Structure 1
């Protein structure tokens, strides 16, 4: 891969050598800059069309509602949550870095040291939200493990069916945009 960089740089040099003489007037530079600016704005916004579905992962009010629901349903009992980074960000926003179990934050963060993140990946990305896959999260000395699945997640329908069969109870937020499952151990 590194061996190709000299060719890329040489190609860019030749391209610039051919194109730059065409931009003799200031209006040409303004037009080119405007086109680049418009294109960057267009590509920045999420899309929902027949060619491309951009989910624009970000923290939403529904993520905040899920975090509050989990806190309410836990009823002051210790718990951990398996969720994506947007939901974890909502928890940090709502409650700060308030709870740790055996030195690990109670929401999964991809830091490399938090075991909850790997459990979440096994449950959500690999499509296995079974009790056996979720159980290592309870190894932190916790009896309640919550799993949060957002509707925009790939294979949501399949994951949801498995999780509904395996979890002890579940709730839907905002007409099913987010589903929260509780596993009791």
Structure 2
């Protein structure tokens, strides 16, 4: 049915494009529309987070490195923050064969712990604890303000974490859990 509908629509529209300028105009409109839709939006109708690595993510990974004070640690964060860590420090730390930031490779247990903490809304000490099973005593959780249910997650994390810091007027909050 859909194919028949598309065929009928094409049959009606194609005769309108008899001239080369019509194709150029139509192509230009499609190109402009696609560029418009690729940019993040923040307006009253739609909030698009356009997840990407920002200077605030870089500041978060530097803060974590500084606050860890050369002690072993792992970080539970989204992929943009993990990308910032790779950019800043490379693939420098592994614990029991696992990279110290969560990557959705299917083999890194930190990613599942992060999903339980951030996406399922449970950044409690019990949920974070499996990350410490890699033989480390510090687990950092990074929450970006654009994350769904940030306010709820932040409240739970503030109550459960040992300490926390805000970056860029609260755009990113870093929580440390000591085990």
TM-score per shorter chain, which class? Answer: over 0.9
- The offset of 1:56, in angstroms, is 1.2
Paired with 2:15 and 2:121, the residues of 1 have a C-alpha distance of 55
Q: Deviations over 1:66-87 (max 9, x none)?
A: 0000000101110000000000
What TM-score do you get using the length of structure 2 for normalisation?
0.97
- The offset of 1:60, in angstroms, is 0.3
Paired with 1:128 and 1:166, the residues of 2 have a C-alpha distance of 10
Paired with 2:166 and 2:37, the residues of 1 have a C-alpha distance of 32
2:89 aligned residue: 95
Q: CA RMSD of the aligned region, Å?
A: 1.0
1:33 pairs with 7, 17, 27, which one?
Answer: 27
Paired with 2:24 and 2:50, the residues of 1 have a C-alpha distance of 31
Aligned length: 179
- The offset of 1:10, in angstroms, is 4.0
| DSSP 3-state at the match of 1:31 | helix
Q: Deviations over 1:98-149 (max 9, x none)?
A: 1110110000001111000000000001110000000000000010000000
- The offset of 1:41, in angstroms, is 1.3
Paired with 1:80 and 1:126, the residues of 2 have a C-alpha distance of 20
1:73 aligned residue: 67
- The offset of 1:16, in angstroms, is 2.1
- The offset of 1:14, in angstroms, is 3.2
Paired with 1:139 and 1:12, the residues of 2 have a C-alpha distance of 56
| DSSP 3-state at the match of 2:91 | coil
Paired with 1:24 and 1:165, the residues of 2 have a C-alpha distance of 67
| DSSP 3-state at the match of 2:50 | coil
- Structure 2: 5+ residue runs without aligned partners? none
| DSSP 3-state at the match of 2:4 | helix
1:130 aligned residue: 124
What TM-score do you get using the length of structure 1 for normalisation?
0.94
